[in-house]
Amino acid sequence: MLKIIYFASLREQLGAEQHEFSLPKTVTNVGELVEVLKEQNPDLKDVFDSAPKILVAVNQVVVSKDFKLTENDEIAFFPPMTGG
């Protein structure tokens, strides 16, 4: 079971901090997971489509969308960080 966590403005937009999700056999990487999540939840689709530069961390390490997933991974989505 994947643990999916949303941070900052994503959490506010979705009205949820986290949820659990069974990893479908057809999903092998982060990009495919994002597409499945968008298909299943119109709110997530709106968020991802309006903010294409959302960062992803798997098990607390920032990764690219081609990063391979395994069952029991922790996936975190967060908006790009700014500094100053």
84 is a domain residue: no
pTM of the model: 0.89
pLDDT beyond 70 at 63: yes
Q: Residue 25 has which token pair?
A: 């056999």
Q: Residue 32 has which token pair?
A: 């495919």
**Structural domain tally of the chain?**
1
31 is a domain residue: yes
Whether the Cβ atoms of residue 41 and residue 13 lie closer than 8 Å to each other? no
Tell me how far apart the alpha carbons of residues 64 and 56 are, in angstroms, rounded to a whole number.
7
What residues form DSSP beta bridges with 78? 55
Whether the Cβ atoms of residue 31 and residue 37 lie closer than 8 Å to each other? no
pLDDT beyond 90 at 13: no
CATH number at residue 52: 3.10.20.30
Domain range enclosing 57: 2-78
Instruction: Tell me the per-residue pLDDT of 20-59, one tens digit each, with 9 for 90 and over.
Output: 999 999 999 999 999 999 999 898 898 888 877 899 999 9
% of the chain residues with pLDDT over 90: 71
